[in-house]
Chain A
Amino acid sequence: MTEQITEATPMKDTTRSLREARLKKRHAAEKRFQWYGRLSIAFGIACVLFLFYDIISKGHGAFFQTYINMEIEFDGEKLGLTPDSSEEEIRAASFNSFFKKTLREKYPAAETRREKSQLYAVFTSDMPLILRDMVIADPSIIGTKQTVSMIADDDTDVYVKHALGTDSDISRMGDFQRSIVDDLHQRGMIEKKFNAIFFSNSDSREPELAGIRGAITGSFLTLMVTLLMSFPIAVATAIYLEEFAPTNKFTDFIEVNINNLAAVPSVIFGLLGLAVFINFFGMPRSVPMVGGFVLTLMTLPTIIISSRASIKAVPPSIREAAMGMGASKVQTVIHHVLPLAMPGMLTGTIIGMAQALGETAPLLMIGMVAFIVDVPGSVTDPATVLPVQIFLWSDSPERAFVEKTSAAIMVLLTFLIIMNSTAVWLRKRLERRW
């Protein structure tokens, strides 16, 4: 017996130690596995945070614009105008040479051609026109001295925002221009103000004058067309498929089509729009109407699928009760099923609209990439949309446009966040659990 024990103990010890070692390994594997999961999630969240950080850090500057407050004497003689001049006379006056002359008087140090052009380049190239519009608005300022808040050129703007007082050479300015800006800064004439231009102007070749108003209007018009087309069609389709469709091959075929359309790449819808709406039906290019049609076809599957789910969620007892009271099938659907399914349908529609708002590729195909300065007034005016504007600006070489692009992205993301949180709120608030 003692022998047995003495024999057994070492064996037992080895099994135990083996088992414990294996258990330790298994538990370590368990820990490791959990850490893989945590790291994956952390990576995902880090991507979200970094993306937002990157955009905001690049774009927040664009919400401010550099202005130069300068006293300008609207000398009637230089302009050849009197306070009584008519509008045509003011329009005919050369504000360009007046503006340049005024600047040269303020900075007589500018002697060579190059220095002079650098002096003018401190300000936006539209400055003479802005002065002219000021005079047209109020001719009585002729002959007086006015402090004008002048818009700085994009290079000046970038320099003031990022490189003032440093040696870094991020802006494309010449030395003379830089010395003028430094001087203006020392005299306290430079001021950063909220960039209202960004929201009130449309696209421009000059970064300091470019804004997103046209793009936002275009997006709004396009989305309106999309909403007006897709919501009724999607709801009708969902009702038909859930409530009326007979179970046959044709119904199956419709369902297969809807599911496949949901997965077709968006650029294909652009090809469809180009070939069918523009070439076959001869609709104009670059207009919100065609954009809306294309986006309608693209968002239909999304809205149909979520609308069907919310119709399905209405319990059969409601339908049976209505039928029992003598309602027809159509009455049951319109009076009872539809109102109960509406919150879910609206949620799906908002999500579909958010998708449409962010969509770019199909709109490129139907020509909504044109450079458009005017704010579109109707769905048949040439327009561009916010994501396409972002795409266009991101291609521009000027450094100032990077800032504008990021700011436009921030505006776009804000709209998307509002839409998506409305959808979530609506779902929480109105959806009933049976």
Chain B
Amino acid sequence: MSITSLLLVILLGTVAAYFLGDARSRQVAKPIGGVRHLAALPSYYASMVSLWALIPGLAVVLFWSIFDGPIIESLVRGVLPIETKNLPPEQFGLVMSQIHNIVAGVGSIEQIGLEYQPAVQRLQSLEKVSSAWMPILTIIVLVLGCLMGLAAVTAKRNARYSVERIFNITLFVCSSIAIFTTLGIILSVLFESLRFFEKVPFFDFVFGTHWSPQIAIRADQTGASGSFGVIPLIAGTLLISFIALLIAVPIGLMSAIYLSEYASTRVRNIVKPALEVLAGVPTVVYGFFAALTVAPSIRHWGDAARDWGAANDIAWLAGLSVSSESALAAGIVMGIMIIPFVSSLSDDVINAVPQSLRNGSFGLGATQSETIRKVIFPAALPGIVGGVLLAASRAIGETMIVVMAAGLAANLTINPLEAVTTVTVQIVTLLVGDQEFDSAKTLAAFALGLFLFVITLALNVIALRVVKKYREQYD
């Protein structure tokens, strides 16, 4: 019986327990003069009984599926030949997975050797036992729980209390998932990063200026020594993010100012959602746009400018070379993507500036643009800075656009027409496809992930603090 169908059985059992509980509570109520004389409504008794059935049932399935594998593994280990047990962990894992494959019907025992026959048989019988007993035990526990729940249905007992307590506990558990997620992120990237720093010294990683994550396959190989200097990646990330902000901040800010200070309600109601469309377009679409439309046209114009420069003897133009995967293309498209982000954040802070400041400025004879530039903008500046920081963290963490448009060459350059690579591109490139989990190459992705997490977290914390402080000022 598969887990899915077992869960379905549990669900059915829970529903059945609900109706049994309902019937039982009415039965209890009958001799004492109706449901009015019960401590709680019948639906609460019913819920209580169904929870009595559901929770133990689910617990059995959960524990069984967690401990089933390890216990069987250790039992099978007992019947393995002694030399197999002393193998290093990777080879031992290989043998175990071969045994599992044979039990699953892939391959034959002759391929790995007859000395594993007892282990295969053992595994086969244990799996049979496990898959037969799990549903039986679950159903027994479910029925027992239901019966105990039914026995607990008495006129005196207030079922509402227990149901509400479980409700509260469920809510609490759900809300702590956010903490576990953060914890999971930190632990997973931290542990793998520590393993990475065992292989590659920390300072080589942080201050190295050369990035080429190819590891030598043979010891005597040259040229593929694998160097993990993160500086070129950071430079590339900053270059692209800088171009993006150069586009997004002025445009986003000016549209927010125009929309909140000048535009009529009708214009605002049309333009604002139209700009928000940019925020709803998936990043993979922007990546496609950058790689297939923007980058080729930048290259085309660059080539045209070079030819023109060569024809007119302008030396610096004649030497222009545009890479087909330029930082400029990725940066421009990323800038377009974060325009609505900047504009809606700025919109919020501009609207939070009190009207009295505007009125005071108008009263002194300032024009509207003077009011905006000399009164509203300085007043909103902390909020705007916070918004720009949030936009920067967005740009640094953005993945698909750069994966598709920025390329893989780790050049240390500030020329936006050359190809650069970013932290996120390298994370994706190092981890996509098959990989073993102890090479420095794979672990490097986690070290980059840790770096990215820390940077974006810091930017966010600072930004939120700035915005909050500013809000308090006017509240």
Give residues in A with beta carbon < 8 Å to B: 26-27, 29-30, 32-34, 36-41, 43-45, 47-48, 51, 54-55, 58, 232-233, 236-237, 239-241, 244-245, 253-254, 257-261, 263-272, 274-276, 279-280, 282, 297, 300-301, 304, 328-330, 354, 357-361, 364-365, 369, 387-388, 390-391, 394, 402, 405-406, 409, 412-413, 416, 420, 424
Contact = CB atoms under 8 A, between A and B. Distances in A.
Contact of B339 (A44, A237, A274, A328): A44
Nearest to B258: A37
A271 B189 contact: yes
B400 interface: yes
Contacts of B400: 360-361, 391
Contacts of A405: 288
A245 B175 contact: yes
Contacts of B188: 271-272, 274-276, 280
Contacts of B155: none
B131 to A, nearest CB: 16
A111 B328 CA distance: 51
Nearest to B433: A369
A272 B251 contact: no
Interface of B: 69, 160, 164, 167-168, 170-172, 174-179, 181-182, 184-185, 188-189, 191-192, 250-255, 257-259, 262, 271, 273-275, 277-278, 280-285, 287-289, 291-293, 336, 339-340, 343, 367-370, 372-373, 390, 393, 396-400, 403-404, 424, 427-428, 431-433, 437, 445-446, 449, 452-453, 456-457, 460-461, 464
Contacts of A239: 171
Given A30-B369, A265-B398, A279-B437, A259 B274 contact: no
B173 to A, nearest CB: 8
Nearest to A395: B404
A237 B178 contact: yes
Give the secondary structure class of B's interface. Answer: helix
Contacts, number: 246
Given A47-B278, A272-B185, A264 B457 contact: yes
Given A263-B456, A272-B188, 19 more contacts: A34-B258, A37-B258, A44-B251, A45-B271, A47-B336, A54-B293, A237-B171, A267-B399, A268-B397, A269-B185, A271-B185, A271-B446, A328-B164, A360-B282, A390-B288, A394-B288, A412-B282, A412-B285, A416-B282
B258 A38 contact: yes
Nearest to B461: A260
Give the secondary structure class of A's interface. Answer: helix
Contacts of A275: 184, 188-189, 191-192, 446
A371 to B, nearest CB: 11
A58 B293 CA distance: 10
Shortest beta-carbon contacts, A-B, top 6: A265-B397, A37-B258, A358-B282, A275-B188, A236-B174, A33-B369
A364 B432 contact: yes
10 contacts: A44-B251, A51-B289, A54-B293, A240-B175, A244-B171, A257-B178, A257-B182, A268-B397, A358-B280, A365-B431
B424 A394 contact: no
Contacts of A301: 178
Given A254-B178, A264-B457, A240 B255 contact: no
Nearest to A29: B369
A360 B339 contact: no
A198 to B, nearest CB: 17
Contact of B178 (A43, A300, A360, A361): A300
A35 to B, nearest CB: 10
B446 to A, nearest CB: 6
Contacts of A276: 184, 188
B174 A233 contact: yes
A391 B400 CA distance: 9
B341 to A, nearest CB: 11
A244 to B, nearest CB: 6
A258 B399 CA distance: 22
Contacts of B252: 40
Nearest to A329: B164
A204 to B, nearest CB: 20
Given A233-B174, A268-B449, A360 B283 contact: yes
Contact of B399 (A58, A237, A266): A266
Contacts of A274: 188, 431
Nearest to A360: B284
Nearest to B161: A328
Contacts of A394: 284, 287-288, 291-292, 404
Contacts of A27: 367
A402 B428 CA distance: 22
A236 B445 contact: no
A379 B403 CA distance: 27
